[in-house]
């Protein structure tokens, strides 16, 4: 399962469940239970337990609170999401590409240029899925590609 409070890939119930788990870990750290034992007791990875322990040591239990707001992800505000959807509605050509296909990579570039925020293509895929948008898989050219046959097929559709 993908776990990240940084790019918003979790549903609200799953994010809440993970926060509850982190708070349980904080209580265990306060009770002098070591990170490896916390990992074992909570069925999490040792890496997560050590990361949570470091956060807990620096900022206490509140440092382990979820940073996301349900439904919007962590980086773009509601207003920015509305603007992003308007940009997507305008089409890719308006934003400098030579065809109308939106790929996750292109949307990541658009977000970086317009909002000065960094998203990975996979993070964009999660974002677009939550917003109800579809997108094209990043373009890769096949080693053996018959352009004439593709053009004929496109004309039939």
Identify the pLDDT of residue 1: 34
Q: What is the mean pLDDT of residues 30-59?
A: 93
Interatomic CA distance for residues 30 and 51, integer angstroms = 15
Residue 46: in which H helix or E strand, if any? helix 46-59
Determine the average pLDDT of the residues in 130-144.
64
Q: How confident is the model over 81-95, as pLDDT tens digits?
A: 889 989 988 988 899
- Half-sphere exposure at residue 54, Cβ-oriented, CA atoms within 13 angstroms: 5
What is the structure's pLDDT at 157?
56
Q: To the nearest whole number, what is the mean pLDDT of the chain?
A: 80
Q: Which of 45, 53, 3 is nearest to 25 (CA)?
A: 53
Residue 32 has what DSSP assignment?
A: T
Domain regions of the chain by residue span: 12-64, 78-131
To the nearest 5 percent, what fractions of the chain are helix, strand and coil? 60, 5, 40
- Taking the C-alpha atoms of residue 28 and residue 32, their distance in angstroms, rounded to an integer, is 7
Task: For residue 11, name the pLDDT band (cuts at 50, 70, 90).
Answer: low
Query: What is the arithmetic mean of pLDDT over 102-121?
Result: 90
pLDDT at 17 over 90: no
| pLDDT recorded at residue 67 | 66
Report whether pLDDT(57) > 90. Answer: yes
Lowest mean pLDDT among 8-17, 80-89, 127-136: 8-17
- Report the pLDDT averaged over residues 11-23: 82
Question: Lowest-pLDDT range, 2-6, 51-55, 76-80, 118-122?
Answer: 2-6
Q: Give 40's pLDDT tier (boundaries 50, 70, 90).
A: very high
Res 128: pLDDT? 84
Q: Which two tokens stand for residue 21?
A: 């788990």
């Amino acid at each position: 399962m993908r776990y990240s409070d940084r790019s918003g890939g979790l549903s609200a119930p799953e994010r809440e469940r993970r926060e509850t788990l982190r708070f349980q870990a904080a209580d265990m750290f306060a009770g002098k239970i070591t990170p490896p034992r916390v990992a074992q007791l909570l069925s999490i990875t040792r890496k997560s337990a050590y990361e949570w322990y470091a956060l807990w040591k620096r900022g206490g239990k509140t440092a382990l609170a979820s940073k996301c707001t349900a439904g919007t992800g962590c980086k773009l505000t509601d207003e920015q999401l509305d603007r992003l959807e308007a940009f997507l509605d305008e089409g890719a050509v308006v934003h400098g590409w030579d065809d109308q296909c939106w790929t996750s990579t292109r949307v990541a570039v658009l977000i970086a240029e317009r909002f000065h925020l960094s998203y990975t293509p996979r993070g964009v895929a999660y974002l677009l899925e939550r917003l109800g948008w579809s997108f094209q898989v990043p373009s890769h050219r096949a080693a053996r590609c018959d352009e004439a046959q593709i053009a004929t097929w496109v004309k039939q559709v």
